[in-house]
Amino acid sequence: MLTHFILLPGLYFVFSDVDRLRMHSEPAVAVLTVQQGGRNLVSLPDIEFRLGISTHCADAGRPESLSITIADTQKTLRSEELQAASTIDVAIAVPASQIAPLALPGFCIDPASEGESVSITAILAAQASLRCSRADSQSIVFAAEPLDIRVDCIRADVTSAGPVTD
pLDDT digits (tens, 9 = 90+) for 151-164: 998 866 644 444 44
Mean pLDDT of the chain: 81
User: The domain 19-160: what is its CATH number?
Assistant: 2.60.40
For the chain, what percent of residues have pLDDT higher than 90? 45
d(CA 38, CA 105): 9
Q: What is the pTM (predicted TM-score) of this model?
A: 0.76
Query: Beta 3-8 vs 11-16: how paired, if at all?
Result: antiparallel
pLDDT tens-digit readout, 48-101: 999 999 998 888 888 999 999 999 999 999 988 888 777 899 999 999 999 998
Q: Which candidate, 115, 120, 118, places its Cα nearest to that of 154?
A: 115
∠38-42-47 over CA atoms, to 5°?
A: 160
For residue 1, the model assigns a pLDDT of: 39
For residue 164, the model assigns a pLDDT of: 45
Give me the amino acid identity at 154: I
Segments making up each domain of the chain, as ranges: 19-160
